[in-house]
Structure formats: structure tokens, C-alpha cells
Chains A and B, each alone.
Chain A
Amino acid sequence: MNVLLFGLIAEKAGAHSMVMEASSTAELRVMLASRINGLDKLSYAIAVDRQVVKDDVPLTGAEEIAVLPPFAGG
């Protein structure tokens, strides 16, 4: 699956997306931490199909996944 990255997280990763395979958002968090240096110190949310998910949810690979640092609109 193609994982979209934004703001500070895209900067840390040096990319605006990453191809990853994860079966759940919890597994995705572990994989992200191993791929993006310093991510463990940052606060971020995961959006599945453009909705922020708080709990661990299963992923089939067909979803649109995004990793979102704190919002700064306005």
C-alpha cells in the first residue's frame, strides 16, 4: 500500500509517500518507526480512507492511508 506522508513527517522521511505492507494500523506504526528516523518522539495520527482512526484497525491494502502530524490550519 502507498502511505501518504505530510508536513514534518514528510520532511523527516524525505518523501511524500512510502510503499509499505501492514495488516493493521498498529503494525503500520511499528514499521513507520523503523523507517522514519525520530518518529518515536513525534505525535502523529493515522487516517484510513480520510478518517483519523484512534484504535488499532485492520488493513486490507485497499485503503487510502495517511500519516498526519499535528494540524496547523488557520
Chain B
Amino acid sequence: MMETRTQKQRDIFVEGAIDPSLLAESVAKHATRTDIGAHEIFLGQVRADLQPSTVIPTDHPGQRAGGEDNAQPSAVQAIEYTAYRDMALEQMTVIREEAFSRWPSMTCLHVHHSLGVVAAGQLCFMVFASAPHRRAAREAVAYVVDRIKADLPIFGKEILADSSHVWKVNRSVDTVGRPTDR
């Protein structure tokens, strides 16, 4: 007999930014579950990082874009997310099963991730775990966030203020959730 509870595939993707009111609604929905004693929440927000522009200057058409001489920084205005949807949802089901087998006391786990354009300052990612006690909820959220960043085929095009773009790459994390750099 398998000990792992089989998890149904659920769609985590939402079009555009995640409305902050979703958080309040999610918390409110759990009021009837009086076995819950702790909620832990991670929210990811799009950051207006400065990135080297890839625009080719018109006054120096021979110069290479993004070269060392003309890497004028430009701020990220938005990220446009795309995903290999079928693989991402399959991987998410695996991560969900692993999280419930590692923290069997966890009552529930909700994940939302944006697709499409999300402006700087808006929310793009939410992981919400509930459990009778804080430790399981806290550890499960940290684990699930790192696994999603490492293993879900989601791609992000950072759109810069000068309308050029660069492709976002996550800092590598190993599968137990420890960052391998920084």
C-alpha cells in the first residue's frame, strides 16, 4: 500500500497579476476548518531590477547590443510569464504529493502562479499552507516555493523601460530547498 496520498491535478495558473484580495478570501475560506491552528503564506512580487538594455543604439548601428560599452541599465517594468503548462501541472502534482508525505499533518496547500504580463510591484506567486501547528506549515511553504522555482517549466520575459527585454533565470536551488548561491 502506498503511503502517499494521491493528489488530484489542479490548475495553479491565473491570467495576469494575483489580486491581493485572493489572500484574504483564501484565509476566510478556512474559518470553518477549526482543526487548523497555523497558516503560512509566501507571496512573490515582481521586482523592478535594473538590467542591461539590449537596445541597439541608432547612432552607433555597428555596436553590439548589450555590449560592455553600451550596457545602459533599464528598469524591469513587467514580467511576461509563459509555461509548459502540462508539464508544470504534472510536476506540481508530484511536489504536492511529496509535501503531504513529508508533512502529513498539513491540512491543505494552495498554489497560484501568474501567466501573461505582471507589472513591477504586483503579485505573481502565492503559496499558502495550513496545518494544526506552525512548524509543518512553515517548513512546507519553504520547501514548496523552492521546488516550484527549481522544477516547474515557467519562463519569464522581463520587459524593460526602454521596451527591450531580457529573459529571467532563477538562481539555482537544490531540491531540498537550499540556495546553491547567495
C-alpha gap A66/B88 in the complex (Å): 12
- B134 at interface (Cβ–Cβ under 8 A)? no
Task: Tell which of A6, A50, A69, A74 touches B148, judged by Cβ atoms closer than 8 Å.
Answer: A74
Residues on A with C-beta less than 8 A from B79 are 72
The chain A residue with its CB closest to the CB of B169 is: A70
Contact B156 A72 (CB under 8 A): yes
C-alpha gap A71/B125 in the complex (Å): 14
C-alpha gap A68/B170 in the complex (Å): 14
C-alpha gap A4/B155 in the complex (Å): 14
Q: Beyond A6-B84, A7-B82, A7-B157, is A72–B90 a contact (Cβ under 8 Å)?
A: no
Contact with A along B59-79 (1 / 0, CB 8 A): 000000000000000000001
Contact A47 B87 (CB under 8 A): yes
Contact with A along B83-105 (1 / 0, CB 8 A): 11011101100000000000000
Contacts of B142-170 to chain A: CB distance below 8 A = 145, 148-157, 167-170
CB within 8 Å of B: which residues of A? 4, 6-8, 47, 50-51, 64, 66, 68-74
Residues on A with C-beta less than 8 A from B140 are none
Contact with A along B29-59 (1 / 0, CB 8 A): 0000000000000001000000000000000
Q: Beyond A50-B87, A50-B90, is A6–B155 a contact (Cβ under 8 Å)?
A: yes
C-alpha gap A6/B83 in the complex (Å): 8
Q: List 16 contacting pairs A-B, 8 Å CB cutoff, sorted by A.
A: A6-B83, A6-B153, A6-B155, A7-B157, A7-B167, A47-B84, A68-B153, A69-B155, A70-B167, A70-B170, A71-B153, A71-B154, A72-B81, A72-B155, A74-B145, A74-B148
Residues on B with C-beta less than 8 A from A74 are 44, 113, 124-125, 145, 148-149, 154, 170
